[in-house]
Amino acid sequence: MTMQPATTPAHSPLASYTRRTLLTVICEASIEGRVAADARRLGAHGYTASDARGWGEHGTRDGGWPLSGNVRIDILCEAAVADAIAVHLQANYFARYAMVCYLSDVSVLRSDKF
């Protein structure tokens, strides 16, 4: 007897996906509030933050005390908003803070939230 792989549709016919941009910002924990306020002012509807650890050009960021660590800030939004936030962060933070930003194209449900 030969088993056939289960097939599932890429997207459920009941789901309604919308394209959005995921802007991920990894930065010093001490500036999370400023970055979040800037993102909101530039059109983001919200963000999710989590602790992040690692090493790179600015050394090891192990979070040994709350403000010495990094945070990962994920912002789901329209592409134009993500671009505006990324440009702002580059112009205002990159020279003085450990920070990296990257963009991803994603499909979301409940697009009215983003």
Q: What single string gives the DSSP state of each residue in 62-107?
A: --SSGGGSEEEEEEEE-HHHHHHHHHHHHHHTTTTS-EEEEEEEEE
pLDDT digits (tens, 9 = 90+) for 86-101: 999 999 999 999 999 9
Higher pLDDT, 56 or 108: 108
Element (H, E) at 2: none
Work out the angle at residue 45's Cα, subtended by the Cα atoms of residues 26 and 88, and round it to the nearest 5 degrees: 50
Tell me: domain 18-106, CATH 3.50.50.60, correct? Answer: no
Whether 7 and 92 have beta carbons less than 8 Å apart is answered as no
Mean pLDDT of the chain: 85
Average pLDDT over residues 53-60: 71
Query: How does residue 40 score in pLDDT terms, banded at 50, 70 and 90?
Result: very high
- pLDDT > 60? residue 3: no
Average pLDDT over residues 26-49: 96
Domain boundaries, the chain: 18-106
